[in-house]
Structure 1
Amino acid sequence: MKPQSMLFTIYGEYVRHYGGEIWVGSLTRLMGEFGLSEQAVRAAISRMLKQGWLVSRKVGNRGYYAMSPRGQKRLDEAAARIYRQDSQVWNGTWCMVSYNIPEERRQLRDQLRKELSWMGFGMLSTSTWISPNDLADRVREITVTYEITDYVEIFNCQHLGWSHPGDLVEKCWNIDEMNQAYQEFIEIYRPQYEDILQKIQNGQEIPDNYCFVEKTKLVHEYRKFLFIDPDFPKELLPDVWLAADADQLFQDYYTLLNPCANRFFDSVYEPCPLVEANEVNS
């Protein structure tokens, strides 16, 4: 597990519910539960600061770190998709993004592609991406942020032909790859869930730090589906679709581990003390 990716999981699953800020000493101890060294954690924090995901401040001789507004927005989007509710009835409208970004600005073009992929868009052609979800406002925001509005067009549109909607999904997304990923998730985590459930039912005590590690790894792995599954409306799902089974397993295992995992986080987390006006920001 890469330290930077794990930091996103720690912030998204825990820190955001505790005021959004955490002392670096607490972070290094928490990350140490996964075998990550203090040096590796501090290096990851430094990279996230440079990339604009984190902001920092000093209180006395202690450094505290919080997600930047950009980072917080990313965490909110991820949480909404991980803990998603049942999709509403699809109205048949597609969100389409088309761009023609000059070669001299290819870094921005590559960044836009990453953002579209993160949001769940599928590539219809090299410079045209589609999504069955209404993401026009989010795309507008991204294009304004990257200052590429002159090169991007955004549509809410109807598909008139010729592919069947299900065929269009298979054309733009790798459905077999998604199903295989869900199958692997189920094969890995169902035995773990059943083992822990049996131990608890038998009255066996499960250490809090073990639950913290396992729950965090569970969320960390499940979060990867954000990059491959756009959360298709039911009307577009294939006959064989394992996302619902994987999601139920995730919810059950998460519920089992959550209380003890949170208790361990509570024991390690140290909130920033109240400070006076002479607080030093960095």
Structure 2
Amino acid sequence: MSAQIELTLLLDDFKKQRPLRAGSLIISLFGDAITPRADKVWLGSLFELLSPFGINERLVRTSVYRLVNENWLNADKQGRRSYYSLTQSGSKRFQNAFEHVYQMKTPHWHGSWCLVFLNQLKNDMRKQVRDELEWLSFGSMGNDVLLHPRINRHDITALLNELNCQQDVIVMQTEAISEKSPQALYKQVNESWNLDQLAQRYHQFIARFTPLHQTIKQNMNLTDQECHLARTLLIHEYRKIVLKDPQLPDPLLPNEWEGYQARQLCRSLYQSLYAQADNWLDKHLENEMGKLPPADDSFYQRFGGL
């Protein structure tokens, strides 16, 4: 099968998704294609980028409106044109999430755990804090206790300060007494993050994108726009899984963890697609200053270096 046919199959699968989450795809586009170039993008550019995915202008408008209300995006209307950029809190979330998407190796783990106790919070605030911590890939040990094997202390402090609940949340850094992890720890890890389900999602990702990868290795005949479409689908589907992946240290993961193979596949396919995709984006992304500039140097550090 040709690469075009494989791409068409991927696009058809995406269009069949119900509900069709345009807002999530917009987030993927901002993180992968827009923010390496500029802070702001014209709504008309989003129309053009999203149309091939079966997302019409009405759905784009509804989705960006919702993202503005959820404090992901800022809207800037100039005359008859509207431009969108990340909010400060949206930018922080982007940085945390997309660092995981493009990293190749997880940092060394020293065996410590961060525990967060929410039992002193009121119910509505407890849910809000829990949601934010789960966004940072915390796992649950029950209704009121969350854990993470490694987390930036500054991120936790900043989050609690932002939510104005630092006096009502208990945060501890701890480590196991024994250097050898007991079987109970592995069971707890699997329960807290549902690794079986996560492994299944990685397996599906590998099955979905391996045919495209193989055909491209044999004959790279995609157009620049087709490379953009393939790259967007690749990162979008990978990002959705990585956001649920706590990036656990290797000692806590099963042998032959599916996430390793998925990461290698994503990196290899991305390297095959990014240059032509960028050629197309150069001509089709605009803001109030005109065409967006080329991607910055940080873009080329993705996946350990493009």
Q: TM-score, normalised by structure 1?
A: 0.89
- Partner in structure 1 of residue 162 of structure 2: 145
- Partner in structure 2 of residue 189 of structure 1: 209
CA offsets 1:225-249 (integer angstroms, 9 cap, x no match)? 2332111111212123111111000
**Structure 1 residue 214: deviation in Å?**
1.2
CA offsets 1:144-200 (integer angstroms, 9 cap, x no match)? 222222321111111337944433322422121111111111111111111222222
- Partner in structure 2 of residue 18 of structure 1: 37
Secondary structure (helix, strand or coil) at the match of 1:126 reads: coil
Secondary structure (helix, strand or coil) at the match of 1:243 reads: helix
CA offsets 1:1-49 (integer angstroms, 9 cap, x no match)? 4111011011101110121210111111111121111111011111111
Query: CA, structure 1 residues 132+37, in 2 after alignment: closer, same or farther (shift >3 Å)?
Result: same
1:233 to 246, 249, 266: 249
Aligned-CA RMSD value: 1.9
Secondary structure (helix, strand or coil) at the match of 2:156 reads: helix
Q: 2:285 aligned with 1:266, yes or no?
A: no
Amino acid at match of 1:187: A
- Partner in structure 1 of residue 54 of structure 2: 35
Moved more, 59-68 or 29-38: 59-68
Secondary structure (helix, strand or coil) at the match of 2:115 reads: strand
2:218 to 198, 201, 215: 198
- Partner in structure 2 of residue 248 of structure 1: 264
For 1:75-90, list aligned pairs within 5 A. 75-90=94-109
Query: CA, structure 1 residues 101+208, in 2 after alignment: closer, same or farther (shift >3 Å)?
Result: farther
- Partner in structure 2 of residue 277 of structure 1: none
Amino acid at match of 1:247: R
Query: CA, structure 1 residues 101+47, in 2 after alignment: closer, same or farther (shift >3 Å)?
Result: farther
CA offsets 1:60-96 (integer angstroms, 9 cap, x no match)? 4321111111111111112210111422331111011
1:121 to 138, 153, 170: 138
CA offsets 1:105-148 (integer angstroms, 9 cap, x no match)? 43332222222222111111211111111233222222222222
| 1:123–1:173 Cα contact (<8 Å) kept | yes
CA offsets 1:199-222 (integer angstroms, 9 cap, x no match)? 22xxxx312221111110110000
| 1:136–1:155 Cα contact (<8 Å) kept | no
Secondary structure (helix, strand or coil) at the match of 1:230 reads: coil
In 2, Cα distance between equivalents of 1:228 and 1:271: 32
Amino acid at match of 2:59: A
Query: CA, structure 1 residues 115+232, in 2 after alignment: closer, same or farther (shift >3 Å)?
Result: same
Moved more, 260-269 or 158-167: 158-167
| 2:74–2:87 Cα contact (<8 Å) kept | yes
- Partner in structure 2 of residue 63 of structure 1: 82
Secondary structure (helix, strand or coil) at the match of 1:95 reads: strand
In 1, Cα distance between equivalents of 2:142 and 2:176: 15
| 1:55–1:66 Cα contact (<8 Å) kept | yes
Q: TM-score, normalised by structure 2?
A: 0.82
Q: 2:233 aligned with 1:208, yes or no?
A: no
Question: Which segments of 5 or more consecutive residues in structure 1 lack a partner in the other structure?
Answer: 275-282
Amino acid at match of 2:133: L
In 2, Cα distance between equivalents of 1:4 and 1:101: 34
Amino acid at match of 2:61: R
Aligned pairs, number? 268
In 2, Cα distance between equivalents of 1:215 and 1:173: 28
| 1:136–1:154 Cα contact (<8 Å) kept | no
Question: Which segments of 5 or more consecutive residues in structure 2 lack a partner in the other structure?
Answer: 1-19, 291-306
In 2, Cα distance between equivalents of 1:45 and 1:107: 26
In 2, Cα distance between equivalents of 1:209 and 1:79: 23
Amino acid at match of 1:36: I
Secondary structure (helix, strand or coil) at the match of 2:286 reads: coil
| 2:40–2:83 Cα contact (<8 Å) kept | yes
